[in-house]
Amino acid sequence: MDVNNISNNISTLNNIPQQQIERSNATTEIDNSDEFLKISINDYNKKRDELSASLQAFNEGIGISTTAQNGLNNQKENLENIKNTLTELSDNSSSETDNNQFKNQMNQELLKFREEAFQTTYKNENLISIDDYEENLSINISTNEAYFSIDKPNTPIIATEIAQAISSADLNVTDSLQATINTVENSVNQLQNLTDQFTDLGNKLESSAKISISDQIELSNENRANKEINFGKEVDDFSKSNVNANLGYLAASQANIVQAQTVRLLS
pLDDT digits (tens, 9 = 90+) for 141-167: 888 778 999 999 999 999 999 999 999
pLDDT digits (tens, 9 = 90+) for 34-63: 444 444 666 666 777 776 787 888 889 999
CA distance 107 to 162: 9
Residue 29 DSSP SS3: coil
Instruction: Please state the rounded mean pLDDT for residues 56-78.
Output: 94
Does pTM top 0.75 for this prediction? no
Q: Which residue has the higher pLDDT, 246 or 122?
A: 122
Q: How many residues does the chain have?
A: 267
Handedness of CA 68, 69, 75, 79 (dihedral sign): positive
